[in-house]
C-alpha cells in the first residue's frame, strides 16, 4: 500500500517500487486479455488534469481507470476555466468538491503536484511536474527493464540527451539507483545540470563512452519548449554528436535495451534504424504504461476502499 499521493520516486523505498512492479506485472495480464475489466475502482472517480500536452501518459491513465471500472473525466488547461485565470488552488478545490477520489495532474511547474496534494482531499498522482519528476514513466521503464533483464542489480544504464530539462531523467535516476543499478549520464554540457554529480553518477559529454558496455540506454527527448535560448548549435549537429545510431549502439552490450519515453524526434535523439531495431523496447514501454498506472491506481486507493468495505 502507498500513502495518499504519488508525487515522485524520491519518496519511495526500493520495497515500495518492487511492490508496484510486481502488481503491474499482474495488471499486464489484464491489459493483454480480451476482457480488460476489473471492478477495483467501481464507485470511485478519477480525473486527469493536464496543463501540458500529452498522448501516452494521459491516455494510459484514462484507459487504466476505465479498465478498472472507475468513473473518469478529463480536463485540459486549454479547454477549462484556467483560461479565464482560475488558479491551480481554486481549480483543485473545484475538482475536489465534486467528490473526486484521484486527481492525476501534469503541470509545467516543478512542485505543482506536491502543492495540489497538500490542498485537496483526493489522492494526487504526479503525471509530470516541470523539470522535477515523472514517477509513473520511471516505473514503466523499470517494468520494461525488469521483464527483460530479470532485475536491476549490477546493470549499467546510460541516460542520454537533455538531462537538464528532463523529469524522466530525474525519476529514472532515483529509481535505478534505489534498485541497485549503476547510472551514467551523457549529453551536451549546456544540457547537464551543474550539480548532478552529487547524485553519485558519472557524466560524459561523449556519448560513445557512456554507452560502452551499457545494458540499458534511455534516450531523452530534446525539450525545445523549455529552452529559453539555444543550448546547442543546430539539430543536425546535436544528432551527429549526441544521437543514438547503429555505430554507437554497437558499443553497448549485445543485448542492450534501447528505450525512449516518447515522443521521439526521429533523426534527432535516435535514427529510425535504431528506433525500429530488434533491441528497441519503445512500443513495449507504451504497453507497460497502462499496467503500471493500473497498479498505482489500485495501491493508492486501497486505504479508501478498505475504509468503505
Taking the complex as a whole, the smallest distance from the CB of residue 136 to ligand CP amounts, in Å, to 9
Q: Is the dihedral of CA 68, 73, 77, 78 positive or negative?
A: positive
Task: Pick the closer one to ligand CP by CB: 116 or 292.
Answer: 292
**Dihedral, 289, 222, 157, 206 alpha carbons, nearest 10:** 170
C-alpha cell at 135: 514517477
Residue ranges that bind ligand CP, judged by CB under 6 A: 54-57, 128, 137, 261-263
Taking the complex as a whole, the smallest distance from the CB of residue 185 to ligand CP amounts, in Å, to 18
C-alpha cell at 146: 525488469
Taking the complex as a whole, the smallest distance from the CB of residue 93 to ligand CP amounts, in Å, to 26
Taking the complex as a whole, the smallest distance from the CB of residue 270 to ligand CP amounts, in Å, to 15
Task: Pick the closer one to ligand CP by CB: 156 or 293.
Answer: 293
Task: Pick the closer one to ligand CP by CB: 168 or 252.
Answer: 168
Task: Pick the closer one to ligand CP by CB: 11 or 54.
Answer: 54
Q: How far apart are CA 154 and CA 88, in angstroms?
A: 42
- CA end-to-end distance (rounded Å), the chain: 16
- Label residue 299 left, alpha or beta by phi (over 0 means left) and psi (-120 to 50 means alpha): alpha
Task: Pick the closer one to ligand CP by CB: 218 or 256.
Answer: 218
Taking the complex as a whole, the smallest distance from the CB of residue 263 to ligand CP amounts, in Å, to 6
Taking the complex as a whole, the smallest distance from the CB of residue 101 to ligand CP amounts, in Å, to 22
Phi first, then psi, for residue 257 (nearest 5°) are -90, 135
Task: Pick the closer one to ligand CP by CB: 20 or 182.
Answer: 20
Amino acid at each position: 500500500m502507498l500513502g495518499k499521493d504519488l508525487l515522485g520516486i524520491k519518496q519511495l523505498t526500493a520495497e515500495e517500487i518492487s511492490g508496484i512492479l510486481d502488481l503491474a506485472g499482474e495488471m499486464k495480464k489484464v491489459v493483454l486479455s480480451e476482457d480488460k475489466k476489473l471492478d477495483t475502482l467501481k464507485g470511485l472517480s478519477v480525473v486527469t488534469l493536464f496543463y501540458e500536452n500529452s498522448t501516452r501518459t494521459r491516455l494510459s491513465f484514462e484507459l487504466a481507470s476505465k479498465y478498472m471500472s472507475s468513473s473518469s473525466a478529463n480536463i485540459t488547461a486549454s479547454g477549462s476555466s484556467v483560461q479565464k485565470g482560475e488558479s491551480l488552488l481554486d481549480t483543485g478545490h473545484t475538482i475536489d468538491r465534486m467528490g473526486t477520489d484521484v486527481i492525476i495532474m501534469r503541470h509545467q511547474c516543478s512542485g505543482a503536484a506536491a502543492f495540489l496534494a497538500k490542498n485537496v482531499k483526493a489522492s494526487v498522482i504526479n503525471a509530470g511536474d516541470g523539470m522535477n519528476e515523472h514517477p509513473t514513466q520511471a516505473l514503466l521503464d523499470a517494468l520494461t527493464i525488469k521483464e527483460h533483464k530479470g532485475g536491476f542489480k549490477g546493470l549499467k544504464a546510460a541516460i542520454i540527451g537533455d538531462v537538464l530539462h528532463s523529469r524522466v531523467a530525474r525519476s529514472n535516476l532515483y529509481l535505478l539507483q534505489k534498485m541497485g543499478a549503476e547510472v551514467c549520464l551523457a549529453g551536451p554540457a549546456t544540457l547537464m545540470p551543474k550539480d548532478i554529480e552529487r547524485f553519485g553518477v558519472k557524466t560524459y559529454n561523449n556519448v560513445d563512452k557512456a554507452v560502452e558496455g551499457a545494458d540499458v540506454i534511455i534516450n531523452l527527448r530534446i525539450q525545445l519548449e523549455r529552452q529559453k535560448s539555444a543550448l546547442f548549435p543546430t539539430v543536425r549537429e546535436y544528432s551527429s554528436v549526441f544521437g543514438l545510431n547503429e555505430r554507437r549502439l554497437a558499443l553497448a552490450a549485445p543485448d542492450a535495451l534501447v528505450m525512449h519515453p516518447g515522443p521521439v524526434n526521429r533523426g534527432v535523439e535516435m535514427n529510425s534504424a535504431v528506433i525500429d531495431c530488434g533491441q528497441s523496447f519503445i512500443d513495449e514501454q507504451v504497453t507497460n504504461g497502462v499496467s503500471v498506472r493500473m497498479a498505482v491506481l489500485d495501491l493508492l486507493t486501497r486505504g479508501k476502499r478498505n475504509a468503505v468495505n
